[in-house]
Amino acid sequence: MKVTIKSWTGVATWRWIANDDNCGICRMPFDASCPDCKIPGDDCPLVWGQCSHCFHIHCIMKWLHSQQTRHLCPMCRQEWKFKE
């Protein structure tokens, strides 16, 4: 029997590889967006700190902006530094 493929449709899934399922700040799943965004993925990315904790970038930026003096990781209270 000879089969001729006339057309095919590719399907892909994606997910963030993070050490947790939910953002510790907004409690939304990492694979969903932060509460200020509608579309997850590159428009609402994750960022990691040198302490290895990770958050939606919009969530951690909101927290750092609200802090006048010390910039600490919400999870471990070490000084927050973005991982390169």
Partner 1 sequence: MSDKSTMAAMSPSKRRLQKELTSLIREPPPGVHVDEDLTSQNLTQWIVHMEGAKGTLYEGEQFQLQFRFSSKYPFDSPEVTFIGGNIPIHPHIYSNGHICLSILTEDWSPALSVQSICLSIVSMLSSCKEKKRPPDNSFYVKTCSKNPKKTKWWYHDDNV
Give residues 10-29 in contact with partner 1 (rule: CB under 8 A): 24-28
CB of 5 to partner 1, least distance (A): 38
Distance CA 71, CA 36 (A): 22
CB of 80 to partner 1, least distance (A): 11
In angstroms, the Cα distances linking 35 to 11, 39, 47, 57, 62 are 27, 10, 16, 12, 12
- Residues in the interface with partner 1 (CB under 8 A) total 16
CB of 28 to partner 1, least distance (A): 8
Tokens 């902006």: give the residue.
65
Query: Which range in 3-11, 41-49, 70-78 contacts partner 1 by CB under 8 A?
Result: 70-78
Distance CA 24, CA 22 (A): 6
CB 46 within 8 A of CB 21: no
Residues that bind partner 1 (CB under 8 A): 24-28, 34-36, 59, 62-63, 66, 72, 74-75, 77
